[in-house]
Each structure stands twice: as C-alpha cells, then as structure tokens.
Chain A
Amino acid sequence: MSNLKEKLSKIAFAQPSDWKTKAKYRRENREWLKKSAAIAIKVLDALKEQHLSQKDLAKRMNVSPQQINKIVKGQENLTLETISNLEIALDIKIIDENASHRKKRAG
C-alpha cells in the first residue's frame, strides 16, 4: 500500500461509502425519476401558491404526512391513482390526458 493511502486508511472508517450503489440506482431509473421530480415541483409550487402545508395535503388525500413528504422529494414511483388524487386535492393538472390526442388531430 502506498504511504499516502496507508495514512488515509488509518484515519478512515472501515466501511466504504455506498454511493456507487445509489448512483447506479439513480442511473438505471433515470427516466421515471425525472417524471417524479417534475411532479414534485408541481406539488411544491401548488402548496406554496395555495398556502398549504404538506400536512394539509395529507389530510385532503387521507394519507400520512410521511407519504406526502416522500412524494415531494421527487423520488417516488407514483401510481396513476396517486397522481390523480394529487390533481384533485390541489386542483392542478399533472397529466393532460387529452394532449397527445389533440396534437394528433391538429397535425
């Protein structure tokens, strides 16, 4: 072992970081994570605009505040049901189900 590495090892934890595992996960799940982040931004913007807390939203959706907190971190693989419930509770549009249909007709 090189002198520098030996010295660094002496003042380091035995357990290395698990960053590589997390980075791999973020890379492999990138496409849906991007969508989850975009939804989280819409929810946070709406909460701010309507002066609501995450707790208020949890009550409206009848879920735990922890569940809302997971959603706004932008790392949850959300179901269509949860997305629809968010739209109703905040009166916002997250997925415009007619957008692709309209585009086709216009083209």
Chain B
Amino acid sequence: MKLVRIFVSDNSEDGLWSIHLEGELQNEFDKFFDLMNDVEWLHDFFEKNKADLTGGFFGSITIGDAVLKTLEEIRAMEDALYDYAEQGFVDSDNNLQHLFKPLNNFEYAITVHQKSKARIKKGWLRLYAIRLAENCYLVTGGGIKLIQDMKSEHLQIELRKLEQAKKFLRNNGIDYPEDLNTYQDE
C-alpha cells in the first residue's frame, strides 16, 4: 500500500489523500469516481444487487433509475470536492470536516483518526476515509449502500480496507490512538 495526494495545501497539513492498494492500477479515490461514472458498471452492480435495491429502504426503483440516481449523486459529491479543491484552504466555511462525518451514525464526537464517510443527503453513495486531522482525510474507498447495515460483501470489503489503512498508518509511524469506533459500524 502507498498513499496518493488528491489535493493538498501548500502551506498547511490540510488536504485529501487516498490509499493505493498493491496490484491495483488506480488509487481508491480515483477508482471510486471513475466507477460511479461508468454506466455499464453501475447497471451491472444493480443487476447483481437487485434484491437489496428493491427490498431496501429506497422502495421500488428500476435499474435504469438507480443508475441515474447514482450519477446525480456522484456529480454532487464531485462538485463539492472540486469546489473545495479550487477554492483552496482559506475559507473555513467550506472545509472537509463538513463533508465527512463519523462512520457510525450514533457517534457525534469528531475525534482524531476516526473512521469517516462522506455522503449526499438522502443518498446511497459513501466515500470512506480516515480522519487524520481537522481538515485532512485519507480516502480508503467508496460504495453504494442499499441496506441499513454494512453486511453486503462489497461493504465488508470497504470495512476491511479501512482497517488495512489504519494498520498501514500505524506501521509507518503515524500514531494511531486506540480505536474509538467501537460501536457497530454503519
């Protein structure tokens, strides 16, 4: 595993980073945005997860509409991050901490090295990250969350990547306090 800069401030530690897993062609952040813009991939994903799509809390929705909803969400998410990257790190109203929330819904305190997620209101897309500092996050992956828990295989992989990234940071001298996220991950 290695890290990749997505956008990082020149004069402070503010910024967004991503993990790049060994053997992968892309880092996890780039891969997420490319896949969520790929209609064929999305169509296939919803076909494979049809039971979760139609049986979950999003009600009756066709595969085509699910693809369109995802494209709308990824555009909103990409816009928010792009604006942030463009505006730089001066305006504190538009900081990464507003985009990323604790992974666990019942966890209200924001802590260092916290497992986090970015999402659009009422959306099913999730961008997973580890909070390294107030305005510094390390993206570990992303996914489409169709059901309330994290039991789907593709989301279990995301949880494992969060853990892998934590270990990697610890092994590389980036101190990691004992995990405070002991609740069930959302």
List residues of A whose CB falls within 8 A of some B CB: 2, 4-5, 7-8, 10-13, 15-20, 22-24, 26-27, 30, 34, 37-38, 40-42, 44-45, 48, 69, 72-75
Contacts and interface: CB of A to CB of B under 8 A. Distances in A.
Contacts of A20: 7, 82, 85
Contact of B38 (A23, A27, A74): A74
Best-buried of B6, B43, B71, B79 by chain A (most CB within 10 Å): B43
Closest 10 CB pairs of A and B: A74-B39, A12-B3, A40-B39, A2-B13, A16-B5, A72-B40, A41-B64, A5-B13, A44-B43, A23-B82
7 contacts: A16-B8, A17-B18, A18-B30, A22-B34, A40-B39, A41-B67, A74-B39
B13 A27 contact: no
B136 interface: yes
Interface residues of B, number: 44
Nearest to B132: A4
Contacts of A44: 39-40, 43
Interface of B: 2-8, 12-13, 15, 17-18, 20, 27, 29-30, 33-34, 37-41, 43, 47, 63-64, 67-68, 71, 75, 78-79, 81-82, 85, 132-133, 136, 138, 168, 172-174
B64 A73 contact: no
Nearest to A44: B43
Binding site secondary structure of chain A: helix
Contact of A17 (B6, B43, B168, B174): B6
Contacts of A73: 38-41
Contacts, number: 105
A48 B62 CA distance: 13
Given A37-B71, A69-B40, A11 B172 contact: yes
A52 to B, nearest CB: 14
B43 A41 contact: yes
Contact of A13 (B20, B43, B63, B75): B20
A19 B28 CA distance: 11
Given A4-B133, A5-B13, A45-B63, 6 more contacts: A12-B5, A23-B82, A26-B78, A42-B64, A44-B40, A48-B47
Given A17-B4, A73-B39, A12 B30 contact: no
Nearest to B15: A5
Nearest to B47: A48
A5 B13 CA distance: 5
A46 to B, nearest CB: 11
A11 B2 contact: yes
